[in-house]
Structure 1
């Protein structure tokens, strides 16, 4: 029987599956029909309000959810220690400091890794002949969009896939770690509206991002651009949850 933690940990398979499904559907429908549907249906347009809120402002949405997950984990673990005898209650202070350091480090690492990734993506785009219409001296897709320009030409690795998979996987693994702690320590899930709301909001936004990526996988980018974007979407979690924890020096530097 799969536990909540196991389900969250296996979420990484969702994105390659929907990518393959989207590519297959796009091939079956043909470019002509895809173009007609892009023009006809509001939610297939990249400027729809869902895309504006959850993709173009995705960093803000992710930050709010990440902070809420940090609160959930710290609160749950401290509540667990609160049932200890009085003489053992110096443990939570150590726990809080360690967890705060870990979450601050993860927040910084996520932003640094994404900055490097998107510098690479923008560099490839420009080197292959891409440019920003209306702002010729702009070398960043984000700045191009902010200035009202259009990012055209060149090999455009799917930033949508890369960005949304990266931030989604971080939240999936935070959910997995939370449920793993609850299950292993046999901790009662706190009867707190704030904690329940945080968990529900996180899962709901993750579902919205999955739906958005399904649209991207069908209606936007070439196959190779989407595949590379999806693969690069696992960079943050590989660095933050696999490489750093396996290095005693890096683990102590960032997380302990």
Structure 2
């Protein structure tokens, strides 16, 4: 495994107030089982406490925001697009978009998709997937200081919308999983994220790397046809995370990997 610090290069590009949210710049790039970035103690304690306080408030006072993420997935999710009046808006900000795109080396569109995921205890193991999926966003492409979130009468997964509504298809380019609201996690508590070095049809699942859901930590990676991962299940306690993506154009995705590698819903 090779490692290197990756956050320092982005330090000068961020507004000072945004930069002050981070506890340090020692985000580590790992090469196995695929290229990804891992960081502990991401945010300063004061801001991390705001995130966990807002999570608890949302879960207590706005439970209607949480819906099933997918028919075959055990998490309930609250969309970042519905949480922009909380500290969780940091994950749908242009500064965060540009930071994660820069770390991954991706030219991103300004489109941001994501939600807060909550797994109740005993959630089942997920299925390996690579996140190379499309998403549809309303309106024209955002400007250089803007982001575009799902909604606006456009179905995110299918692009379905009323006549006359403008929508664009883009493809997930960088995935971020930020773990929070999981105090006291210990080995054996389950709920890790499993990373695979490959998935081949007809073969047994390969050896995997388990990323623990430690509070105030994250994993970040460019989405490619081989970024296979899943929720490892078996959590003995509630498990919370932010799962979000920035996107690239469909044309760039096709140029790099071919249109047949895009996984449609």
TM range (shorter): under 0.3
- Bigger share in helix: 1
- Bigger share in strand: 2
Higher-Rg member (1/2): 1
Highest RCO, 1 vs 2 (Cα 8 Å, sep ≥ 6) = 1
Structure-1-length-normalised TM-score: 0.23
Structure-2-length-normalised TM-score: 0.23
